[in-house]
Structure 1
Amino acid sequence: MNPVVKTRPGAPARFFEAEAAGLRWLAAARGARIARVIEVSPGRIVLERIETGRVDAAAAASFGEALAIMHDAGAAAFGAKPDGWDGPVFIGRLQQSCRPEKNWGAFYAEQRVRAFVAPAVEAGNLTPADATVVEQACDVIAAGAFDDDEPPARIHGDLWNGNVLWSPEGVVLIDPAAHGGHRETDLAMLDLFGCPHLDIIVGAYERAHPLRAGWRDRVPVHQLHPLAVHAVGHGPAYGAELVDAARRTLALAR
């Protein structure tokens, strides 16, 4: 079977090596199936080709359980990079910080949301007034309003529907922004961009690892990161969604 060869002229240093490190770290959890890295070198990565399969309830249930297992494999800290990786971390084409933090809120607010606010304003996709609302939400999150006793999870970090491939053997994940984070972040991203059989995925997940009460209410908190990233380069509609999620986050914290 022909592998998939990905190249990108002018890619940042260690761009594909970062992808390979994330894929291998997630695969080491022996939970969700991850696309296998065949070869990686500067400016190039070779991956196994994933054939298209049926999008069905059985595959969704298996994926939900496997995703919980992957998350449960854990990470050294919130913001931890994949084990053994000392290079940059990317989400899509944007680089993002991964500085380990003891508390999830401090990590998430500063490195996953606030870091993208100024670039979104500079791009013209977020107004300065709306940026203030997002900053206020970051302050609340950083102060620990949503911290809990969940340990750092081994998360995909960019788990939108386009990175969930349905193969004849079940779901396979690609293109991670893997790091130590909160398990609810991956689930919130699946919800944000839509995923077939999401209720079945979540049901199977909760049978493997019950989620903390009120997790559905906290979805907007965990969607701030992908919305902030998209507000940088995908238009003002995402800026509007970002500020709406920020307002909902502030309302939850009251």
Structure 2
Amino acid sequence: MMNSVYGFEEEILKRFPHTGSIIYKDALDMMKFMPLTAIIGTKILCMHGGISPHINSIKDLKNCRPVEGNSEVCLEMDLMWSDPSEEHWGFEPNKDRGGNALTFGSDVLDEFLEILGVDMIIRGHQVVQDGYAFNAGRKCVTVFLAAYYLGQFDNAAGVCLCCGVELFNSDSKFWAGCGWPAFSESVGKDLNIIRIQDNSHGMLRTEVSAIHILATFSMMVRKKRPAKDTV
């Protein structure tokens, strides 16, 4: 439901007019097997939303599953919908998200990072003007990938590239299977760099598949927005 309302289904149907409905259904099936968190090089924790008071160790993350619908407050909901706050300490109900998720201050983020033994978190979830934004003394980074979000924002799209970190090897992952614990393991050899560029939708999108990439934050190159029709 969420990705249908916010444009994913519409984009799939436009790009693949004959097979879009099948691709969309397959994408939904795939999402059931995607982890809610990922760890880069044992030191960077990634999720969509933010941290949770229900996490006491890395083991708590391994068995998380995507939740459907308007679930009650729980670990999975926090990982998906929590936001960092520069105004509050600790955990507070996230009123901007209907109260079913939390905001978290830099104090509890520091405790969280120490308990899990990681240095920082990378998350998405919030529109930011330049495509990326820092919180909590650069220990929390928001990276937002959708430029001109919903056609209502004049935001850039951000990409986070991490250097010298072994992520995974496709062959090793195939033989290891796709069980939930396997997603958090770092295995295999370096991948070749593959670049795919897409000039549609008013911007230049470059997708890079690689294992050693530069540790910087950058904006995607955008073309000028077409002028609106005038009478």
Return the TM-score normalized by structure 1: 0.25
The structure whose Rg is larger is 2
Greater length-normalized contact order (CA 8 Å, ≥ 6 residues apart): 1
Higher strand share: 2
Higher helix share: 1
Return the TM-score normalized by structure 2: 0.27
